[in-house]
Structure 1
């Protein structure tokens, strides 16, 4: 029996390695279904919860970060459907205190700057970093944290420096976190995992979106999760070691599907993924 056990041991180890844990929680950036949110925010959120999303990341669709709902109403809906509103993209340079109060009231952890635009010089990027620190200071007083979501322009060299590096190195880690859009880093030619590893603890959120084989336009490579080049089982597992906490699906390009179908298929992919 001992001999048999010893002989089977390597196979047991192999079986255990194949039985990797599933991702217990993942989110959706509601911009992915912006038309549906504009028509019926509460109804759309209920449907998305039914797909398996346990976290939402919002955006200001013209009705504020709570889509016209009062904090108590929004919090009640979230409790009913079993979803945490972890963050929202927002205009962090206008009415930030008021937005922070709403965010805190429904339990959001982050307000996120979704876009700043390419700057013309290194000095201008350093000024942006100063603005991020100031916004982070304001949010800190409300118990909410600031984060910045990148596009590909922060991964394009400028005067011998990478703008994303400038932001990382000139922001206060106690005030500013980052949401890595893995797609935009990837199509700009950077390995998302390698970049996260350079700045452990700074990336707490990420956008999970897949990219098909290189094309002429980086903006037109988005595909459903699992049908592109990005090995998300490995990316998600290893990024956790460097402090990544929130994995947020975002879909902006729809080929042969529609936004709600894409949201459902992406949720099914992540629910089965072994990480």
Structure 2
């Protein structure tokens, strides 16, 4: 295991505690680097709440060194009302691992939570990950199962969608 990613921490969206949290990631990053490892944080929607004029995700990115991974969960980024492509581009080299979670925006009739059949611009996300994100790992995260399909059937369909996206 080369990447240690924290999935959640209440301190992330606390204006005072978030500063100390970022510093702890910096310290961990410095200790892990000589071992060929890295640490990072995985977003949900809460990380896109604002503290003043910036999101907590942006503040964390600014407060941490470039070796700290910003593991973007594209589904949650979109659910929070933000563009996952923009966030990959905004922090070059920091999305070393990225969650490809199919998501349907409210009002997107005919879309399904299957990669390539949902609301996310996966071709744009994939291109940004390849060109500027420094992405080494794509993680397909299937959390919903449309049309009464089994988790495995949805995963197979999302894998087929991923193959189309990645060529």
Q: Establish whether TM, by shorter chain, passes 0.5.
A: yes
Deviation of 1:198 after TM superposition, in Å, equals: 1.5
Distance in 1, matches of 2:49 and 2:31, equals 30
Choose which of 36, 40, 61 in structure 2 pairs with 1:143: 36
The question of whether the paired residues in 2 share the 8 Å contact of 1:211 and 1:230 is answered with yes
Q: Deviation at 1:213?
A: 2.8
Give TM-score, length-normalised by structure 2: 0.85
Per the TM alignment, residue 249 of structure 1 is displaced from its structure 2 partner at its CA by 0.4
| Aligned residue number for residue 123 of structure 2 | 233
CA contact (8 A) 2:88 2:128 kept: no
Equivalent in 158, 161, 167 of residue 266 of structure 1: 158
Match of 2:48 in 1: 155
C-alpha distance in 1, partners of 2:14/2:161? 41
Contact 1:180 1:205 in 2 (8 A): yes
Instruction: Tell which structure's C-alpha radius of gyration is larger.
Output: 1
Distance of 2:14 and 2:40 partners within structure 1? 22
Q: What TM-score do you get using the length of structure 1 for normalisation? A: 0.54
Structure 2 runs not aligned, ≥5 long: none
What is the count of residue pairs matched by the alignment?
A: 162
Deviation of the 1:189 alpha carbon: 1.0
Cα drift, residue 180 of structure 1:
0.6
Answering whether residue 139 of structure 2 is matched by residue 248 of structure 1, we say yes
Partners of 1:126 and 1:234 in 2: how far apart?
32
Question: What displacement does 1:144 show?
Answer: 1.4
Taking a change above 3 Å as real, the CA distance of residues 223 and 136 of structure 1, as seen in their structure-2 partners, is: same
